[in-house]
Structure 1
């Protein structure tokens, strides 16, 4: 599917995915809902199909234990799920941020949907920011995303954005993603999620300490080559034992000076530079059917997994 810019909105500088309707800062949530294409609801109906009885009469039969989800605005089907599937509405995604923006100083920065509304998300800047050597600034965000097609649980997570290149990286804390996941078999409780997520400086400080550690670890040429060869071998979607040579060479080229911000002191020849080359490749350069397919992969799919793997490999290298 080609991207639909009316399905996203943003404030401030153009976001890394380059999509959306631009808004002024401080807009109320109803404006966000309208401009981000989230001013509709997910409706449900029994799954039915026509059958003909023994006398030739046609009637509708239902599929037990299933329901179809569809959009209220255009009646477009979204998915078929079990009848115990709990929907998280577009309105709930935005409402998650109401007290955070009105009381805690967060600022909603971008929101929208992917795949015709099957995935919904919003991203808010927390106000926390750290600068590494060379003036390399990284800002902290909280991302809330959900899906109504069974492809992911409702997930709230810390995300970092490197300002110089708009690269994104999920904040990993204590060996696990800084995320809270709510399965659709249970009810989504926004306040419980925020409490469990622990929106505070602690997780961010730990993450930035790790980035500083990576920026202090110098990397030899052979280490960089081995890093990318191992990273892009045996990844999902390609044959076992096979290396994606194109991806490996492109990431290595970015690390060696062709990547945005690769010449900053924090990245130039460091383990942090290894990670940034991967995040830039995944977010901006990797082949994709469309920009929103790339965004979906970079945040929720195979691309996100590769970025997480790169971060963990770099930490092991710096240990």
Structure 2
């Protein structure tokens, strides 16, 4: 299976670092202690800059004359477009417009430092570059925890940031709680809120600083509300058949499958879908993390059955695919959000049945 981590031929190292945890096919630099942003920046091999370089082409007369494009002397400037180029190896990372504002890798770390007012408050856990270095990502742990039950079930608060240098999207920062006992990524956004902030590459430094504080405010608000919700869910009892129903609805991929579930036509469901449901249900019933006071036979445990399935059971073709699915708006994140909405509805209804809506 591929990994798509950037390999820097100049240094002979992969552009990735992680604290303690071995990941990404055992590649990159593993450090034993949390580092400063400057150290994380270097460990991850992100200490290169990106510059906008003019684009050129050749005249139509030379093309029609059949001249070799690579040896043609006459150059025409391509107006309003530029190539983003790495300054350390001259690799072209993408083509962008004149209004595109480069956010240097160093700026991404500065953005994180600004969120909590300095390096002492945030712990950089992973960072790296993909492809030729056109896309980078950072995960960092925030101070404090979300505590469920008597305090033994603890969720750490993380921020995830990704940005690209190829013009393919905005800077994205997401608040992502992670349950320590099983490393479940508990993606959930509350009503009228989102756990993601997107920042355009046309934004200036002042706007990015304002957005940094917006992300921190979002994280604080979400963590306080989620702690209250998860604690409530840990006291609500659910039956095994209700857990399975939640899993079926949360993992439901399309309207056709939903209609079959609604009329109880389980024999007509696809084998792939039924296998996913059975794997998630088995996780819910037997995994050690599902036998805690906060999870065994509770609504919080039912929710964790879905997030835990995608985090700990489901197979992915590579680490990047898992990252995309769980954190960056992919299938797992969408299914986790569906599970969150279903559990919220169950808690309000207290009817003993997950509604088919």
Alignment TM-score > 0.5, same fold: yes
Whether the 8 Å contact between 2:238 and 2:297 is mirrored in structure 1 is yes
Structure with greater strand share of residues: 1
Instruction: State the shift of 1:192 in Å.
Output: 0.5
Shift of residue 53 of structure 1?
Answer: 0.6
Alpha-carbon distance in structure 2 between the residues aligned to 1:46 and 1:150: 15
Unpaired runs of 5+ in structure 1? none
Q: Is the 8 A contact 1:43 1:71 kept in 2?
A: yes
Question: Which residue of structure 1 aligns with residue 215 of structure 2?
Answer: 197
Measured after TM superposition, the shift of residue 261 of structure 1 is 0.6
Q: Which residue of 2 aligns with 1:172?
A: 189
Query: Rg larger in 1 or in 2?
Result: 2
| Distance in 2 (alpha carbons) for counterparts of 1:277 and 1:63 | 53
Q: Say which SS state the counterpart of residue 316 (structure 1) adopts.
A: helix
The 3 A distance-change label for structure 1 pair 62 and 18 is same
* Structure 1 partner of 2:86: 71
For residue 267 of structure 1, the aligned residue among 270, 283, 295 is 295
Q: Which residue of 2 aligns with 1:295?
A: 323
2:141 to 121, 125, 133: 125
Given that 1:170 and 1:177 are in contact with CA atoms closer than 8 Å, whether structure 2 keeps it comes out as: no
**CA distance in structure 1 between the partners assigned to 2:22 and 2:249 by the alignment:** 34
Q: Aligned Cα RMSD in Å?
A: 3.2
1:256 aligned onto 2:285: yes
In structure 2, do the counterparts of structure 1 residues 95 and 255 end up closer, same or farther at CA, with 3 Å as the change threshold?
A: same
Residues 256-291 of structure 1, C-alpha deviations (whole Å, 9 max, x = no match): 223x51111211122222222222222343332211
Shift in Å at residue 92 of structure 1? 1.0
* Structure-2 separation of matches of 1:142 and 1:118: 21
Q: 1:254 offset after TM fit, Å? A: 0.9
**1:92 corresponds to:** 107
Deviation readout 1:88-127 (Å, 9 max, x if unpaired): 2211111123353746622222222334433322222222
SS of residue matched to 1:144: strand
CA apart distance, 1:128: 0.8
Residue number in structure 2 paired with 1:210: 229
Displacement of 1:49 after TM fit? 4.4
1:285 is aligned, of 309, 313, 329, to 313
In the TM superposition, 1:32-43 aligns within 5 A as: 32-43=40-51
Structure 2 alignment gaps of length 5 or more: 6-12, 260-268, 349-357
- Cα deviation for residue 210 of structure 1 reads 1.4
Hey, what does 2:9 align to over in structure 1?
Answer: none
Residue 105 of structure 1 is aligned with which of 121, 130, 134? 121
Residues 1:247 and 2:276 are matched in the alignment: yes
CA separation of 1:239/1:252 partners in 2, compared to 1, >3 Å: closer, same or farther?
closer
Match status 1:31 vs 2:39: yes
1:83 equivalent in alignment to 2:98:
yes
Which residue matches 1:143? 160
Contact 2:250 2:306 (C-alpha < 8 Å) held by counterparts? no
SS, match of residue 294 in structure 2: coil
The equivalent residue for 2:61 is 53
How many residue pairs match? The answer is 317
Following superposition, the deviation at residue 47 of structure 1 comes to 4.4
| Structure 1 SS opposite 2:310 | helix
- The superposition leaves residues 136-173 of structure 1 with CA deviations (integer Å, 9 ceiling, x where unpaired) of 11111222222334554212232211111111123524
Paired with 1:232 and 1:69, the residues of 2 have a C-alpha distance of 40
Mapped contact 1:16–1:166 kept (Cα < 8 A): no
| TM-score where L is the length of structure 2 | 0.76
Name whichever of 157-166 and 100-109 sits farther off: 100-109
What is the TM-score when the length of structure 1 is the normalising length? 0.84
Q: What SS does structure 2 have at the residue aligned with 1:117?
A: coil
